[in-house]
Amino acid sequence: MDEKELLIFQKGNNSTHTNFIPKLDIEIEKLENIIPRNLLRDDIPIPDVSEVEIVRHYIKLSRMNYGVDSGIYPLGSCTMKYNPKINEYVARLAEFSQIHPLQEENEGTLQLINAISVLLAEITGMDGFTLQPAAGAHGELVGLLIIKKYFEMKGVKKNKIIVPDSAHGTNPASAKMAGFSIIELQSNQNGEVPLDHLEFAMQQGDVAGIMLTNPNTLGVFDREILKITKIVHKHGGLCYYDGANLNPMLGICRPRDMGFDIVHLNLHKTFSTPHGGGGPGSGPVGVIKELIPFLPTPCIITTDEGLVCTQDRDHSIGRIKAFWGNFGIIVRAYVYILSLGAEGLKRVGQIAVLNANYLRIQLQKKYYLPYDRICKHEFVLTDKNLPNEVTTEDIAKRILDYGYYAPTIYFPLIVNGAMMVEPTETESKKSLDNFIEAMYKIYDEAFNEPDRLKSAPLNTPVGRLDAVNAARNPILKE
Amino acid sequence: MDFVSHDDDTIAEMLKVIGVDKIEDLFDDIPKDILINGLNLPEGLSEPDVLMKLKKLGKKNAVYSNSFLGAGCYFHYIPTLVDFVVSRSEFYTSYTPYQAEASQGYLQAIFEYQSVISRLTKMDVANASMYDGSTALAEAAIMASAITRKNQIILIEGIHPEYIEVVKTYCWGQDIKHKIISLEKLDDELNQEIAAVLFQNPSFFGDIEDTSKIVNLIRKKNPNCLIVQVMTDPTCLGILKPPGETDIDIFVAEGQSFGINPSFGGPGLGIFTAKEKFLRKIPGRLVGKTKEINGTLNGFLLTLQAREQHIRREKASSNICTNQALCSLSALIYLVSLGKTGLREIATQNVQKSQFVKNKLKKIPGYEILNTKPTYNEFMVKCPNVSTLIRECKKQDLLPPLQLSKYYPHMKNVVLICVTESNTKESIEKLFNALELANNNTEGTA
């Protein structure tokens, strides 16, 4: 990767082009006659930089960054699979990218949203979908607001949500945003939900439901899943499926069949839309028939005149975003699902699990694997048994030196020094083997050259950064 | 098709290493009765077949040569280098920059984005982005409630009607009460229990308000109440006084105007800024500048993560993690491409061109401009025959203005016209043809 680069603000070469603005071809008035002087601004402290300088600057920055197209990206629970280029091409077609959300001639967009809803319903087993949520956490909020509304309509007071301690951090945060308080359930020694504790919590009568991801963040499938959802239902609760880990279940097993009532998906994980360095994503929410009336507005309904969108829905939780969801992302996911079809999606599930287990078996030879069993899409290693006080962070930083991205580290919180590895189905065996080889070398270095690990990374544009100082004295702009 | 790299021999070899006979064995821990035998979906399609299908679908959407529709989503010219830069796969195929040393490029770009937004708005701190303008506004309301420990907010009429709906949904989630009132009623309604006053300026109807007057009124009446301003087309900041110069506590905006395609309303960009003193209450990600632990180089990383959900869980200030990073990159490239000269010129053209249309409109009998305050690039016009106007615009290949009756059923004959720099003189002439025809023509009021 490249060396450091100055900030764009330090590049100002005072070129005052207006290349991107049409020539003004109408009669103008004095600005102050249109808008009073006291409402106008003086300076704009943004430099004028020439196009060539801008392009060089950002191309240089791009070379100081790592993407899936650069190589393996084994970031656990993030499903960093290859992003097919056709998706990008289609999303940029004027017939999709130049459509205004309030224009009338939009039959194509409504049909597309409707069509992907049907496909997602089949994939998850759910009855209805909203494509409105802009990200996974946004979907979680929608799901929880649906639960809140459902009990509000029933006139039942249930204001608690069960979240296992292995859950993604967004789960408790989303539950709180929907006004719930959280009961954290400690996982058992297998990393699974303890049925007796669940039963006890549900018996209290004020629990609205459970949020669960399955396979969970340890990468293992909760074998008691049917009992779990049954217990929750028995006590009048609803079951929420966090779809962040849906990838290994595609074409294998559906959240609905596990007993879930609500599910959110991450189109930017499971359905190949690029993560964009932190979005835009898309977090559709699917529900069982009984909960369809609670979905957010607007929604698309079929009438004699074709598809129309409607705001009217008695029990809806209301609007959760202006206009429609992240449509440009939805287009990409639709292209992906059409490309793969039934067989392709099943192959995703199968190969994602094959790749993860192959990697697990090979890395287990050197690294400690706390939950030693067949995994699904990912697995968790730790720094236990490493010599010379070498830590998970040291390993992660050293991986960067070998030219790869690191696993998710120190998560899930229930495992000390966790390294969460998810290869996805799109990595070749050669790519996996190269990663394994690097991990073996790093393991040897832990014994022979621990200082090198502790001072890693050495081959990146900057060395290990001081996070403590950054939080203590925040510098957030220049 | 699929995107798997293995052939059958490779799969067999890998299964052998794992120590199982067949792939199905890897799913042995799933209860047998919930394993499915494939999905009931069509067969996969090749690239040309997918393309054909999608192009056919796309034909059912109309693409117009020019637009007079805004109302929260705008057609501004996007420099070609914006898409060129965001199409670099090192950017768009990366994840949230957790491993800072391998993500310096993106982290620096986000730091530059935060800086450029701060410079444009003159607000102390900008975060790395929110989903869109509406959710940014809703999160601002929640943040204000958390800071003031009060659970009532006031929304001033003139906020985008869809934003109001979103704020209502979020507030219902947290049991925050809201009231929607006109600006004139603010003095009466503002009491000590109010956490925040939210207003849009320029308003949904196009009016430019004197922010300092609103701020003075609120400060005098309730100094603890937070003042939140929202904006749907921040290109106006090229000429209008920035919120940071008028003592706004939280300023949010929809950033779609900054180099992002309409795409049927998403993805857009939620701009979120606040005063320094609220730094640790801001939702979303922040990128900070720091130094190497054992060196002298500066670098960038995600900071103040103790506010965030993955550490604080249910005590986090918000649940947002994935935001609109790539859109913030578009906005950054857009803003630096224009520079101060271009930003001023864009805003000037928006004002001048809409003023040109307004002046011309005044000369056509039957039409009435309803705004009494200065406007930026949108304004309300009462029309003699809206449906003919809409039809004639479409005939002229123009995306017609918004019929305000969509949101306000009582405003039957009023349209909200949006004129930007991308409206050519020719398209303006076409609009006037349509306006004239809709004036002479009394039939077609279906």
CATH of the domain at B427: 3.90.1150.10
- Using CA atoms, how far apart are residues A260 and A238, in angstroms rounded to an integer? 8
Out of A62, A179, A374, closest to residue B88 by CB: A62
**A354 vs B11: CB contact, 8 Å cut-off?**
yes
**A347 vs B27: CB contact, 8 Å cut-off?**
no
B315, part of any domain: yes
CA A319 to chain centre: 22
Instruction: Yes or no: say if A1 and A64 are a contact pair by the CB < 8 Å rule.
Output: yes
pLDDT at residue B409 is higher than 90: yes
Mean pLDDT of A75-95: 97
Look at residue B309 in the predicted model and tell me its pLDDT.
Answer: 74
Measured between beta carbons, which residues in chain B are less than 8 angstroms from residue A277?
Answer: 91-92, 94-97, 103, 106, 325-326, 329
Mean pLDDT of B112-118: 98
A1, part of any domain: no
pLDDT, tens only, A295-344: 999 988 888 878 888 877 789 999 999 999 999 999 999 999 999 999 99
A251 and A400 housed in the same domain:
no
A259 and A148 housed in the same domain:
yes
A70, part of any domain: no
Report the percent of chain B where pLDDT is more than 90. 94
B211 and B125 housed in the same domain:
yes
pLDDT, tens only, A133-186: 999 999 999 999 999 999 999 999 999 999 999 998 899 999 999 999 999 999
DSSP state of B242: P
Range of the domain at A266: 85-339
A156 and A23 housed in the same domain:
no
Report the percent of chain B where pLDDT is more than 70. 99
**A78 vs B95: CB contact, 8 Å cut-off?**
yes
B1, part of any domain: no
B109, part of any domain: yes
Residue B334: band (very low, low, confident or very high) from pLDDT cuts 50, 70, 90 = very high
What residue of B is the nearest CA neighbor of A41? B241
Instruction: Yes or no: say if B233 and B376 are a contact pair by the CB < 8 Å rule.
Output: yes
Domain-terminating residue out of B335, B356, B381: B335
**B94 vs A277: CB contact, 8 Å cut-off?**
yes
Q: Which of B175, B172, B183, B179 is nearest to B194 (CA)?
A: B179
To the nearest whole Å, the CA of A432 is away from the closest chain B CA by 11
B292 and B353 housed in the same domain:
no
Mean pLDDT of A86-101: 98
B328 and B350 housed in the same domain:
no
Interface probe, candidates A2, A33, A66, A82, chain B, greatest B C-beta count within 10 A = A66
Measured between beta carbons, which residues in chain A are less than 8 angstroms from residue B428?
Answer: 26
A104 and A16 housed in the same domain:
no
Interface probe, candidates A25, A28, A35, chain B, greatest B C-beta count within 10 A = A35
A414, part of any domain: yes
Domain-terminating residue out of B271, B302, B335: B335
B328, part of any domain: yes
- Using CA atoms, how far apart are residues A243 and B357, in angstroms rounded to an integer? 50
Instruction: Yes or no: say if B243 and B302 are a contact pair by the CB < 8 Å rule.
Output: no
Look at residue B441 in the predicted model and tell me its pLDDT.
Answer: 62
A353 and A335 housed in the same domain:
no
Instruction: Yes or no: say if B230 and B214 are a contact pair by the CB < 8 Å rule.
Output: no
B91, part of any domain: yes
Domain-terminating residue out of A286, A306, A339: A339
Look at residue A194 in the predicted model and tell me its pLDDT.
Answer: 96
Number of domains chain B is built from: 3
Residue A221: band (very low, low, confident or very high) from pLDDT cuts 50, 70, 90 = very high
Out of A46, A102, A343, closest to residue B43 by CB: A343
B42 and B111 housed in the same domain:
no
CATH of the domain at A377: 3.90.1150.10
pLDDT at residue B426 is higher than 60: yes
Number of domains chain A is built from: 3
Mean pLDDT of chain A: 95
B201 and B346 housed in the same domain:
no
B122 and B263 housed in the same domain:
yes
Interface probe, candidates B61, B73, B81, B122, chain A, greatest A C-beta count within 10 A = B61
Radius of gyration of chain B (CA): 26
A475, part of any domain: no
**B101 vs A179: CB contact, 8 Å cut-off?**
no
B32 and B128 housed in the same domain:
no
B111, part of any domain: yes
Look at residue B445 in the predicted model and tell me its pLDDT.
Answer: 45
Look at residue B446 in the predicted model and tell me its pLDDT.
Answer: 38
A174 and A286 housed in the same domain:
yes
A52, part of any domain: yes
Look at residue A3 in the predicted model and tell me its pLDDT.
Answer: 62
Out of B163, B341, B346, closest to residue A16 by CB: B341
A94 and A227 housed in the same domain:
yes
Domain-terminating residue out of B335, B358, B391: B335
- The H-or-E segment that residue A471 falls in is helix A467-472
- Using CA atoms, how far apart are residues B111 and B125, in angstroms rounded to an integer? 11
A289 and A383 housed in the same domain:
no
A194 and A109 housed in the same domain:
yes
B130 and B53 housed in the same domain:
no
What residue of A is the nearest CA neighbor of B254? A322
B152 and B220 housed in the same domain:
yes
pLDDT, tens only, B174-204: 999 999 999 999 999 999 999 999 999 999 9
Out of B39, B324, B346, closest to residue A342 by CB: B39
A332 and A196 housed in the same domain:
yes
B260 and B386 housed in the same domain:
no
At A38, list the tokens.
């006291």
* Interchain CB contacts (distance < 8 Å): A and B: 682
**A94 vs B103: CB contact, 8 Å cut-off?**
no
What residue of A is the nearest CA neighbor of B339? A48
**A476 vs B286: CB contact, 8 Å cut-off?**
yes
Mean pLDDT of B44-61: 98
**A335 vs B73: CB contact, 8 Å cut-off?**
no
Residue B307: band (very low, low, confident or very high) from pLDDT cuts 50, 70, 90 = confident
DSSP E strands, B103-231: 125-126, 152-156, 177-181, 194-200, 226-231
Measured between beta carbons, which residues in chain A are less than 8 angstroms from residue B327?
Answer: 276, 279-280
Range of the domain at B200: 80-335
Measured between beta carbons, which residues in chain A are less than 8 angstroms from residue B163?
Answer: 322
Look at residue B444 in the predicted model and tell me its pLDDT.
Answer: 45
What residue of A is the nearest CA neighbor of B259? A20
A188, part of any domain: yes
What residue of B is the nearest CA neighbor of A67? B94
A168, part of any domain: yes
Look at residue A469 in the predicted model and tell me its pLDDT.
Answer: 94
B96 and B239 housed in the same domain:
yes
Domain-terminating residue out of A318, A339, A360: A339
Residues B19-38 as b or e (16 or more Cβ within 10 Å = b): ebeebeebbeebeeebeeee
Measured between beta carbons, which residues in chain A are less than 8 angstroms from residue B99?
Answer: 66, 396-397, 400, 405-406
Domain-terminating residue out of A339, A373, A388: A339
CATH of the domain at B267: 3.40.640.10
B373, part of any domain: yes
- Using CA atoms, how far apart are residues B253 and B124, in angstroms rounded to an integer? 15
A94 and A147 housed in the same domain:
yes
Measured between beta carbons, which residues in chain B are less than 8 angstroms from residue A218?
Answer: none
A113 and A248 housed in the same domain:
yes
B293 and B356 housed in the same domain:
no
